[in-house]
Chain A
């Protein structure tokens, strides 16, 4: 699980071009959106593409992302449960 979390942090930094951050800057329970990492709706869509591409998880409603992308911990749990690859 901690491997998955580390992997997710690296992916998020890479995919979302978070230039000034390194994985150690992101705590597992930090809010990813809003006041946390300050991600926005396009970032959420980009994470939805990542879920599909890397884990075979397809979301059809962008609103689902709100819950799933709460924090690295929540995201990792969701992926562990639903991943198809």
Chain B
């Protein structure tokens, strides 16, 4: 198979109340909790999108990271999404569970329940950037660059997509971490398992 060389064209971290893009800090504010951080980040980055505030934490996290990359590149409609994490939708699962286990105050919320699936964040990104592309969500013990790499290479070599936005978005209680990167035929960083791991570990 004649395979074109693929590159990581950009990447983004969201962690410790800091958003960074290609290794440079875009926004940082450690004075607030996560939802406060999201509000000020969205204002700072001018990503006006009222629906952001309706999302659960995992979708907010994924959207912030995706926005940093996709607004820069102007999202192509055949950008596939390949995401993964460890905690699945546990953060929101707990909220839904709490609302149904109290029989005296039994009012489960539809807008919480809809987020009790990890792949809803893929839907949110698809809606905002109008991506009718292929997407998949994997659950792993820990960041798994080999798997993401294999999947992405397949999608691009088989022309299933022009670009792939992939990575890790994990939200569990107060701990969260997002690392997303865009893979295409353009860029300076070779798309290899080593480079993915290196950028992931760089934390910036």
Residue of chain B at shortest CB distance from A54: B107
A46 touches B110 (CB 8 A): yes
A42 touches B50 (CB 8 A): no
How many interface residues does chain B have, given as a range? Answer: 10 to 19
Chain B residues within an 8 Å CB radius of A42: 110-111, 114
B53 touches A17 (CB 8 A): yes
Q: How far is the CA of A45 from the CA of B114 in the complex (A)?
A: 11
For the complex, would chain B's binding face be called helix, strand, loop or mixed by DSSP majority? helix
B110 touches A18 (CB 8 A): no
B54 touches A16 (CB 8 A): yes
- Give 1 or 0 for each of A1-38: 1 = CB within 8 Å of chain B CB: 00000000000000011111000000000000000001
Chain B residues within an 8 Å CB radius of A43: 111
A48 CB to closest chain B CB, in angstroms? 8
Q: How far is the CA of A43 from the CA of B110 in the complex (A)?
A: 8
Interface assignment of A68: CB less than 8 Å from any CB of chain B: no
How many interface residues does chain A have, given as a range? Answer: 10 to 19
Q: How far is the CA of A43 from the CA of B50 in the complex (A)?
A: 13
Chain A residues within an 8 Å CB radius of B53: 17-19
B114 CB to closest chain A CB, in angstroms? 6
Chain B residues within an 8 Å CB radius of A49: 107-110
One of A16, A18, A38, A52 near B107 (C-beta < 8 A)? A52
Chain B residues within an 8 Å CB radius of A52: 107
- Give 1 or 0 for each of A37-63: 1 = CB within 8 Å of chain B CB: 010001101100100110000000000
Chain A residues within an 8 Å CB radius of B111: 16, 42-43, 45-46
B50 touches A38 (CB 8 A): yes
Interface centre among B53, B54, B108 (most CB of A within 10 A): B54
B198 CB to closest chain A CB, in angstroms? 37
Chain B residues within an 8 Å CB radius of A38: 50
- Residue pairs across A and B with Cβ atoms less than 8 A apart, 27 shown, are A16-B54, A16-B111, A17-B53, A17-B54, A18-B50, A18-B53, A19-B39, A19-B50, A19-B52, A19-B53, A20-B50, A38-B50, A42-B110, A42-B111, A42-B114, A43-B111, A45-B110, A45-B111, A46-B109, A46-B110, A46-B111, A49-B107, A49-B108, A49-B109, A49-B110, A52-B107, A53-B107
Q: A18-B53, A42-B114, A46-B111 are in contact. List 17 more A-B contacts (CB 8 A).
A: A16-B54, A16-B111, A17-B53, A17-B54, A18-B50, A19-B50, A19-B52, A19-B53, A20-B50, A42-B111, A43-B111, A46-B109, A46-B110, A49-B107, A49-B110, A52-B107, A53-B107
**6 cross-chain pairs, A with B, having the tightest CB-CB distances, nearest first:** A19-B53, A45-B110, A17-B53, A17-B54, A53-B107, A46-B111
